Amino acid sequence: MKTTNIIERGWSALNDSVFHRLYDAYHQDVFQFLIYLVKNRILAEDLAHEVYVRVLRSYDQFAGNSSEKTWLFAIAKNVAIDHFRKQAVRQKHSLDFFDWETEQLHSNTPSPEDMLEASDEFMQVESALENCTGDQKMVIIMRYFQDLSIAETAQILDWTEAKVKTTQHRAIKFLRQQLQQVREQEAKRQ
């Protein structure tokens, strides 16, 4: 893995700037990851900018211990968590540590414009995701919306693969319960 990355980086130095290469390969993926987390297009654009700032400033320190893709997503994840942390700080007016894994990563209702293609079922899932813990929401977005493998997700979150699997299992179970409740309530209404 490391050798491959060194070769990739050597190649990049000869052919493509870091920005162009990462943009071309991953920009839309990273943007989608961010917009699903924060559900606000303008905010996702701001966070994507912040991701590039961090990437460009720290690329020389990138040790090649992971793929560029997982490194980039790890930075995007950190930028997003910083956003939620700031939000929590502002709401609580305290500088207490924000544990994103156990707290909920609350975001807005997605704009109707962004969700034109979404099915009713997906909107229900989206809504239920808001009630998941931060670690569960993150894993669902990475595994299902972003198609990241268990190994990639584990690297990005700096977890073991077992923890990813467990968290995913719990998230699915929780979502299923939430959706079941919604359906039962709908059935009662009808």
Partner 1 sequence: MTHNQFDDDQLEHVLNNAPKLSDRRSKDEILNRLLADTRLQDNVHLQEAIQQPIDEEVSAQEQQQSTETELTKRKTRKWPILMSVAAVFALTVGVGSMFMNNNDSKIDQATAPDIAPYSTMQDGPAAKTAENHDNYLDSSIAAEYAKFMSLRTSVYEEDLTEAVVFRIGLASRDVESVPMTYIIPNERVEADFGKEKPSTLQIYKKYAPQIKEEEKGFTNYHPYQGELKEKDDKLIHVLPEKNDYDVASAPVNEYKGTLQDTFSDSEYTEVEFENADGTPYEFSQEGEPSKAMSLTGPSHFNYYLYKDQNNGAEYLSPDFRQTFSSVTEAITVMRNKTDDVYVPVVPENVTYTVQEVAEGVVVTFNDPLDLTTMEPVRATQLIEAMMLTAASFDKQLRLDNVVQESWEGFDLKNFLPTPVGANKQYMDTP
Enumerate binding residues for partner 1 (CB under 8 A).
16-20, 23-24, 27-28, 31-32, 35-36, 40, 42-50, 52-53, 56-57, 59, 61, 63, 82-83, 86-87, 89-90, 94-99, 108, 114-119, 121-122, 125, 140, 144-145, 158, 172, 175-176, 179-180
Instruction: Give the phi and the psi of residue 130 in degrees, each rounded to 5.
Output: -65, -25
The distance of closest approach from Cβ of residue 66 to partner 1 in the complex, given in angstroms and rounded to an integer, is: 11
Nearer to partner 1, 56 or 151 (CB): 56
d(C-alpha 110, C-alpha 105), whole Å: 14
Contact 101, 134 (CB under 8 A): yes
d(C-alpha 25, C-alpha 34), whole Å: 16
d(C-alpha 26, C-alpha 23), whole Å: 6
Four-CA torsion 126, 127, 131, 135, nearest 10 degrees: 10
Nearer to partner 1, 4 or 65 (CB): 65
The distance of closest approach from Cβ of residue 190 to partner 1 in the complex, given in angstroms and rounded to an integer, is: 18
The distance of closest approach from Cβ of residue 7 to partner 1 in the complex, given in angstroms and rounded to an integer, is: 19
